[in-house]
Amino acid sequence: MNKKPPAYYVFAVLTGVACIFLLVVAKESVNAVWDRSLGDETPQRMTVADLLVKGAGTNRYVTVTQVAVGNDYLLGTGGGETENATWLIVSPAGTQPGTLGKSLLVHVTRFQDYATAQSNPEQQSFTGFYWEHAEIPPAQSKLFAEKYPNLDFQTIPFLEVRDHKGTSGLRRAFYCALAGIPLLVTGVAGLVVAGRRQRRLPDANAS
Q: What DSSP assignment string belongs to 57-88?
A: TT--EEEEESEEE-S--EEE--SSGGG-EEEE
What are the pLDDT digits (tens) for 27-85?
888 888 888 888 898 999 999 999 999 999 899 999 999 988 888 877 776 655 556 67
What percent helix, strand, coil does the chain show, rounded to 5?
50, 20, 30
Q: What is the mean pLDDT of the chain?
A: 81
H/E element, 52:
helix 48-54
Q: Are 81 and 112 in contact (CB under 8 A)?
A: yes
Helix (H, G, I), strand (E, B) or coil at 200: helix
Q: What is the fold, at CATH topology level, of the domain defined by 43-163?
A: OB fold (Dihydrolipoamide Acetyltransferase, E2P) (2.40.50)
Measured CA to CA in angstroms, residue 52 lies from 4, 19, 41, 68 at distances of 66, 45, 21, 14
pLDDT at 21 over 60: yes
Confidence band, pLDDT 50/70/90 cuts, at residue 2: low
Specify which of 6-20, 51-65, 95-109, 115-129 reaches the highest per-range mean pLDDT: 51-65
pTM here is: 0.74
Supply the pLDDT for residue 159: 92
- Annotated domain spans of the chain: 6-32+168-206, 43-163
Structural contact between residues 62 and 114, judged by C-beta atoms closer than 8 angstroms: no
The pLDDT of residue 94 is 87
Evaluate if residue 204 carries a pLDDT over 60. Answer: no
pLDDT tens for residues 131-172?
Answer: 988 777 777 788 888 888 888 888 889 999 888 888 777 788
